[in-house]
């Protein structure tokens, strides 16, 4: 089959295109920005890339199927031609994945407001380290496994990141509804994606829909400490295994500790020691990601006793790019890039950095960029999370002209509130101006300092430029 991907250079679309190529299909695609590293990887795999969208070119290429990414919307020239002409079949990315791969596999679907990418990478990594050949599709750039996609052996599990965001402009169901879970991992649940969900109950509703399609011989691996997940009810149509830090969970994380040398914890399975883990990943949140991944992967191999899955390899796990990734490390300065874009994620990460870098001044640099973060929906939560830092720099609100003033994240109000809490805070009209402030006020560091950048986007390139200035 000849498959054409619209928006092919996005992480998820690009990895899915590589899976389709590995499955023997002829693959081509287009994007407004054909740029590395994804463009390089795609070209090396023999995939033809086109810059921009052109209906005449698409008609001439005449693929058997067009995959429309969820970044595409009405008004796109190729979308409008497809709808008007009905000349070519089209589908969403999640539907393609179901029809071409997932419908015949025993799938581990990793869902949750936070930690999906890391937990997906961990599950795939542990299965591989235990001698299996799982398929996987990871929505980021993992260091372990060393690639973000792999078909794997047909008889082994397929691990996929289960996003609750919608599938396409013509399919508003959450992506994970398409993924045919045998094991669904519910890592956590909070309000996010204010552009498509009305409130927390709306998010809970779509997670409930996911649980409804887990078969009775499958499992739901649930964060047993999460009140919003417990509110989903007893889920009697399948088997539920709970993971957490408190009594009553099937899998427990106990004796968690963290310092400058790393983190350690013990994992219990129904009261018995499963493994004692020492590794480099920061925070209790990553220990929970590991416990969720290990439980799901272990149950996929042995549904009666997941502890047959060996966890020694966690000591070697290097994580995912842009998740607490250290860019600069000197005696006086550590520069970290993180994908955090929700108050809970920022708070947990900043708590971890306090333990990981004792005595260092903690600087948080935050870009209000996601469709929720750039609004006032979670502004109070961001303010409380950022108050955990010693000083704060707030970037320009992304696409601020698209929001009404009364709906837009109010950086000045956050700065004023933080100042009343004894936290030094700054903001700027542009990210370039913010970079100038940062360089002038934090370089060279006069005392040990950690500068942590939080953004789910490019931050207009200032992260890399700051790291370069810090090294210079």
Q: In a 3-state reduction of DSSP, which class is residue 405?
A: coil
* 177's tokens: 């509804």
At residue 274, the pLDDT reads: 98
CA distance 138 to 260: 29
* 395's tokens: 């970037």
At residue 11, the pLDDT reads: 85
* 459's tokens: 């931050």
333-338 β-sheet, strand order:
325-329, 333-338, 449-454, 361-366, 391-394, 424-427
In eight-state DSSP terms, residue 104 is: G
Is residue 277 within 8 A of residue 254, CB to CB? The reply is no
Is residue 459 within 8 A of residue 431, CB to CB? The reply is yes
Is residue 188 within 8 A of residue 223, CB to CB? The reply is yes
CATH architecture, domain 2-96: 3-Layer(aba) Sandwich (3.40)
CATH 3.90.190.20 correct for 325-471: yes
The β-bridge relationship of strands 26-31 and 2-6 is parallel
Q: In the chain, what are the domain boundaries?
A: 2-96, 101-316, 325-471
* 320's tokens: 């995912």
CA distance 466 to 459: 11
* 138's tokens: 């990871």
At residue 160, the pLDDT reads: 98
Number of residues written out for the chain: 472
**How far out from the chain centre does Cα 155 lie?**
27
At residue 388, the pLDDT reads: 98
CATH architecture, domain 101-316: 3-Layer(aba) Sandwich (3.40)
**How far out from the chain centre does Cα 223 lie?**
17
How far are the Cα atoms of 143, 231, 318 from residue 215, in angstroms, in the given order?
Answer: 32, 20, 33
Is residue 341 within 8 A of residue 377, CB to CB? The reply is no
For the entire predicted model, the pTM comes to 0.94
Q: In a 3-state reduction of DSSP, which class is residue 147?
A: coil
Q: In a 3-state reduction of DSSP, which class is residue 43?
A: helix
pLDDT tens track, the chain, 472 positions = 999 999 999 888 999 999 999 999 999 999 997 777 788 889 999 999 999 999 999 999 999 999 999 999 999 999 999 999 999 999 999 999 999 999 999 999 999 999 999 999 999 999 999 999 999 999 888 999 999 999 999 999 999 999 999 999 999 999 999 999 999 999 999 999 988 999 999 999 999 999 999 999 999 999 999 999 999 999 999 999 999 999 999 999 999 999 999 999 999 999 999 999 999 999 999 999 999 999 999 999 999 999 999 999 999 999 999 999 999 999 999 999 999 999 999 999 999 999 999 999 999 999 999 999 999 999 999 999 999 999 999 999 999 999 999 999 999 999 999 999 999 999 999 999 999 999 999 999 999 999 999 999 899 999 999 999 999 8
């Amino acid at each position: 089959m000849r498959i054409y991907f619209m928006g092919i250079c996005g992480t998820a679309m690009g990895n899915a295109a590589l899976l389709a190529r590995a499955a023997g299909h002829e693959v081509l695609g287009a994007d407004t920005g054909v740029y590395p590293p994804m463009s390089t990887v795609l070209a090396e795999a023999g995939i033809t890339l086109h810059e921009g969208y052109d209906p005449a070119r698409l008609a001439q290429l005449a693929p058997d199927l067009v995959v429309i990414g969820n970044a595409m919307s009405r008004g796109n020239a190729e979308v409008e031609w497809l709808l008007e002409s009905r000349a070519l079949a089209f589908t969403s990315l999640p539907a393609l994945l179901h029809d071409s791969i997932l419908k015949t596999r025993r799938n581990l679907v990793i869902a949750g407001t936070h930690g999906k990418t890391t937990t997906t990478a961990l599950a795939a990594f542990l299965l591989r380290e235990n001698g299996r050949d799982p398929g996987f599709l990871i929505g980021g750039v993992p260091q372990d496994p060393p690639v973000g996609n792999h078909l794997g052996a047909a008889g082994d599990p397929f691990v996929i990141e289960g996003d609750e965001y919608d599938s396409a402009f013509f399919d508003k169901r959450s992506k994970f509804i398409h993924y045919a879970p045998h094991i669904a991992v519910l890592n956590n649940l909070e309000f996010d994606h204010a552009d498509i969900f009305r409130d927390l109950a709306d998010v809970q509703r779509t997670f409930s829909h996911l649980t409804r399609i887990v078969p009775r011989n499958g499992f739901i691996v649930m964060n047993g400490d999460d009140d919003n997940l417990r509110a989903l009810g007893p889920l009697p149509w399948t088997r539920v295994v709970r993971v957490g830090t408190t009594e009553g969970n099937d899998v427990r994380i106990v004796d968690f500790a963290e310092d400058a040398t790393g983190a350690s914890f013990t994992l219990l399975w129904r009261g018995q020691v499963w493994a004692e883990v020492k590794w480099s990943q920061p925070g209790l949140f990553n220990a929970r990601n590991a416990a969720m991944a290990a439980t799901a992967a272990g149950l996929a191999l042995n549904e009666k006793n997941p502890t047959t899955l060996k966890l020694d390899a966690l000591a070697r796990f290097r994580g995912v790019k842009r998740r607490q990734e250290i860019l600069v490390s000197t005696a006086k300065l550590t520069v970290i890039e993180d994908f955090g874009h929700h108050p809970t994620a920022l708070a947990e990460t900043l708590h971890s950095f306090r333990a990981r870098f004792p005595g260092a001044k903690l600087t948080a640099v935050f870009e209000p960029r996601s469709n929720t973060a750039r609004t006032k929906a979670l502004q109070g939560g961001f303010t409380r999370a950022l108050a955990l830092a010693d000083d704060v720099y707030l970037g320009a609100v992304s696409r601020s002209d698209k929001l009404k003033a009364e709906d837009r994240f109010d950086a000045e109000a956050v700065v004023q509130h933080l100042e009343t809490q004894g936290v030094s805070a700054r903001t700027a009209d542009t990210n370039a101006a913010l970079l100038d402030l940062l360089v002038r006020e934090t370089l060279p560091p006069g005392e040990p300092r950690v500068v942590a950048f939080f953004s789910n986007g490019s931050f207009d390139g200032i992260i890399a430029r700051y790291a370069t200035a810090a090294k210079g």
